Structure 1
């Protein structure tokens, strides 16, 4: 791992510890320790297992999308390390922006051609965003009115997250189905931006934006042709998210909070995912913890129990991925077939991350 990424990881761990310290500093430590000792360890194990299953199904999505290609990945280590690397770089970059390029590097390390890797990850991204949005719409239909009534502050954040997802998918669909119009709109927007930045920056930014639009459109043509793969990947993504959402339910059971409704808990977790998506801080740190406390305080009346549950849930869904990502970066792929060139430039094989 490069020094820059190591520093970012360390900073996020320190920030996370700071957030938890602010939460527990007024808590009775003896009570907290007693509750930790008396956890239901079976349900805690199931919570960890659920997160590992989420990573496993995400790896299956990649395996399906790479199937029947010359550079298909066969060794499970080469496949499972990709979601772990994504989890690490999503966790240490604003708006999870580092996960996508880190996955491309990891795929190239395993012998996948960079253009094909970009295409597969693009399919994966579109499918993931679509399933998240579908889950959110279902959740809103069943629970949003009650959440808006009791948690008006969170309702605004939830709407913000929803609008961001709608905007993201809307842009992707415009490029896929209205390519020329999207290109013209992008050029027009960049002309307006050019009024407040130098012409050199405007030209560079315009080229980058248009290149991304062109590349995305070319990749979308592949996406439209492989409908069977897209369907299978969508089903697997649903299970990936389901096991991720279930972590909080099993965490509550580990805390002996067994009077919860599993459907309500799943819907609450879906809301948290939407809320954290609008926070630019890596991992949505601060926003995720606040959302957890606000949404699940109705089930957990004892403050120390709520804080312990928040710590367990956050560790499994956030910090566990960081630690697994560090392991994935440290150990290279099996039978590595590194591509020596990427779009005309060389990859640094010694320290790619």
Structure 2
């Protein structure tokens, strides 16, 4: 991923005046960059707070160090796997290393995932009202990608809600929907997949019953997650200020970053490499009239929102977990 990123950066710089780039780099307001760096740290840190909230009544001695270690490891494995599929298994393994029971770890990660997805959808709906007309005017194809990304996240949430509130109907519907796969799979493999899928539906339903009784905790997690996403979404605004780009609409910049987040999730290449840089350059071109500053802004944004988390995750892997006691709090 570092090699691919380097290739993308080199390509982005191929038609940029190096002297102008160095000049703009020397004029960066590092105070505003420090604020942008603080935002990404808060984004990662608040996810650790979410982990701690969920673990507080399960393991009394689950440390803050391990709580902050989990999201950093997630960032690393999300960043190096297609569609960010490696983040969940990596978090589960990290919690198992801390001595957390596998069932409890899966439960916590599942609830965290549900809240995160729900807050993404809510933020997107707000941003859609504010910034979608801008995207549709700039690039029609990009607007289609945004809508497709939203539909994927919405489908996930709808499926989870169906399991929570219409469990038996959803289970029957799922088993009916996967029947055509039996035409292309061997019988033992199909049966194994069907049983695994039903077990996962059963597991989520049992956890959803617990979620319904922990509404105060879920409300706290929702508030923390909204704050977490807010600090991530405002990063481009402070990067643009650092480059001397003023008179920019704060709400519009944040909304556009929300939409970029949706686009990135569609690209199968780890980290949305290529698609992320292209989307940023297209959408923020209206705010940054200098091509050199636009490329520099994109590079700084990518370093903070992608590579910073990956390197932090590498560091987190080097930190030995602190084992919790076997006794859980009921």
Q: Deviations over 1:145-192 (max 9, x none)?
A: 232123212111111111111111111111111111222122222321
Q: Aligned partners of 1:76, 1:66: CA distance in 2, in Å?
A: 10
Runs of 4+ deviating beyond 6 Å: none
Counterpart in the other structure of 2:23:
34
Secondary structure (helix, strand or coil) at the match of 1:194 reads helix
Q: Aligned partners of 1:94, 1:174: CA distance in 2, in Å?
A: 27
1:190 matches 2:175: no
Counterpart in the other structure of 1:25:
14
TM-superposed deviation, 1:212: 1.3
What is the Cα-based RMSD across aligned positions, in Å? 1.4
TM-superposed deviation, 1:216: 1.2
Contact conserved, 2:61 with 2:325, CA < 8 A, in 1?
Answer: no
Structure 1 alignment gaps of length 5 or more = 1-11, 340-353
TM-superposed deviation, 1:338: 8.5
Counterpart in the other structure of 1:252:
240
1:5-24 superposed matches below 5 A:
12-24=1-13
1:199-348 superposed matches below 5 A:
199-334=187-322, 336-337=323-324
Q: Aligned partners of 1:252, 1:111: CA distance in 2, in Å?
A: 44
Structure 2 alignment gaps of length 5 or more = none
Q: What is the number of residues matched between the two proteins?
A: 326
Contact conserved, 1:40 with 1:255, CA < 8 A, in 2?
Answer: yes
1:56 matches 2:73: no
Q: Aligned partners of 1:176, 1:159: CA distance in 2, in Å?
A: 25
Contact conserved, 1:109 with 1:338, CA < 8 A, in 2?
Answer: no
Residue in structure 1 matching 2:167, options 160, 173, 179: 179
Q: Aligned partners of 2:36, 2:172: CA distance in 1, in Å?
A: 48
Contact conserved, 2:111 with 2:211, CA < 8 A, in 1?
Answer: yes
1:137-156 superposed matches below 5 A:
137-156=125-144
Counterpart in the other structure of 1:342:
none
Contact conserved, 1:249 with 1:265, CA < 8 A, in 2?
Answer: yes
1:128 matches 2:116: yes
Q: Aligned partners of 2:61, 2:204: CA distance in 1, in Å?
A: 23
Q: Deviations over 1:91-136 (max 9, x none)?
A: 1111111111111111122232111111111111111111111011
Q: Aligned partners of 1:146, 1:190: CA distance in 2, in Å?
A: 39
Secondary structure (helix, strand or coil) at the match of 1:54 reads helix
Secondary structure (helix, strand or coil) at the match of 2:183 reads coil
Secondary structure (helix, strand or coil) at the match of 2:57 reads coil
Q: Aligned partners of 2:180, 2:24: CA distance in 1, in Å?
A: 58
Counterpart in the other structure of 2:104:
116
Q: Aligned partners of 1:73, 1:25: CA distance in 2, in Å?
A: 53
Q: Aligned partners of 2:256, 2:134: CA distance in 1, in Å?
A: 11
Q: Aligned partners of 1:23, 1:307: CA distance in 2, in Å?
A: 7
TM-superposed deviation, 1:245: 0.7
Q: Aligned partners of 1:111, 1:308: CA distance in 2, in Å?
A: 44
TM-superposed deviation, 1:222: 1.2
Q: Higher mean Cα deviation, 130-139 or 183-192?
A: 183-192
